Amino acid sequence: MSNSQTMGVATKRAYVVAIAFILFFWQVAAWFLPDFLMPDVHTAILRLWEELNSAEFYEGLGNSMTRLGAGYGAALFFGILLGLVGGTINAVRSPLKAAIIILQSIPSIAWVPLFLILMGFGNLPIIVVVAIGAFFPTALSVMNATESVEKVHISAARVMGASKAQMLKRVYFPAVTPELITGAQLAFGNAWRALISAEMIVGFSAGLGKSLAYSGEIADMTGVMTNILVIAILAAVIDQVILERIKHRLLRYQYL
């Protein structure tokens, strides 16, 4: 599937305009401020090019992506599982939903001090914080969607003799997929923010957040802006290209 199919021309144009707008404001700020406070756009892009040719950059990128993958993956798995269970079992639903609403109001980064002491200095606390950020929107969207699966779709499967497992796999799962994907995109935003901030605070081994925090500490503003650029580009690519593509693949029937 080519990108032109997943993203309309109008949307693409909107993105180009938005990016030009953002870079323009950055450059205007750079003209008015001294270089050591705000680097020019092209200085940051040149630095980015240098970074792309250094092994260090890839080490940090690899670490961050591993943490994101582990945390986000675990959140999706448990979120879908708990969402389906909560949505189908009436006794569990209301308390579970209330618990999620209370817990999701806590910024996931607030858990860092606790997990650092509980799990020690390492990858695990960062992964868990990422997972917490992504878990709630996933579980909530799946639970709400499961609750509103059309009764006739369930009855039809029952009269066709579907087993519990078949019902879950062939009826509930595809029925909740549209909402699940919306929830998963929301969850990705949370996971990404949690990842960068946790890495900035924890500062364990190389990573995008740590690299950004370190640039700040040595007052290397070109480094700061370069890192922000990387963080923004990666998030856009993952959300708009990878997740959108998966969405179009899974919901193919809606786009015909």
Residues 194-253 that bind other proteins (CB under 8 A): 253
Should residue 256 be labelled a site residue for other proteins when binding is judged by CB under 8 A? Answer: yes
3, 27, 54, 155: which one contacts other proteins (CB under 8 A)? 155
Tokens of 28: 């205007």
Should residue 12 be labelled a site residue for other proteins when binding is judged by CB under 8 A? Answer: no
Residue with tokens 């079992």: 89
Should residue 150 be labelled a site residue for other proteins when binding is judged by CB under 8 A? Answer: yes
Burial of 132 per CB tally in 10 Å (0-12, 13-18, 19+): buried
Residues sharing a CB contact under 8 Å with residue 125, sequence separation 6 or more, in sequence order:
112, 115, 116, 118, 119, 198, 202
Sign for the pseudo-dihedral over CA of 64, 67, 69, 71? negative
Q: Which candidate, 102, 109, 111, places its Cα nearest to that of 136?
A: 102
Q: Alpha carbon of 227 to those of 36, 81, 97, 111: distances in Å? A: 16, 35, 37, 24
Should residue 166 be labelled a site residue for other proteins when binding is judged by CB under 8 A? Answer: yes
Should residue 175 be labelled a site residue for other proteins when binding is judged by CB under 8 A? Answer: yes
Should residue 3 be labelled a site residue for other proteins when binding is judged by CB under 8 A? Answer: no
* Per-residue x/- track, 105-144, other proteins (CB under 8 A): ----------------------------------------
Of 29-37, 113-121, 168-176, 190-198: span binding other proteins (CB under 8 A): 168-176
97, 153, 193, 248: which one contacts other proteins (CB under 8 A)? 153
Please check whether residue 87 is in contact with residue 143, taking contact to mean a CB–CB distance below 8 angstroms.
yes
In the complex, minimum distance from the CB of residue 180 to other proteins, in angstroms, rounded to a whole number: 12
Burial of 133 per CB tally in 10 Å (0-12, 13-18, 19+): buried
- Which amino acid is present at 143? M
1, 91, 159, 218: which one contacts other proteins (CB under 8 A)? 159
Identity of the residue, 218 or 256, whose beta carbon is nearer to other proteins in the bound complex: 256
97, 170, 245, 248: which one contacts other proteins (CB under 8 A)? 170
Residue with tokens 């997972």: 131
CA separation for the pair 24, 21 (Å, rounded): 5
Should residue 164 be labelled a site residue for other proteins when binding is judged by CB under 8 A? Answer: no
5, 163, 236, 241: which one contacts other proteins (CB under 8 A)? 163
Residues near other proteins (CB under 8 A): 150, 152-153, 155-163, 166, 170-171, 174-175, 177, 253, 256
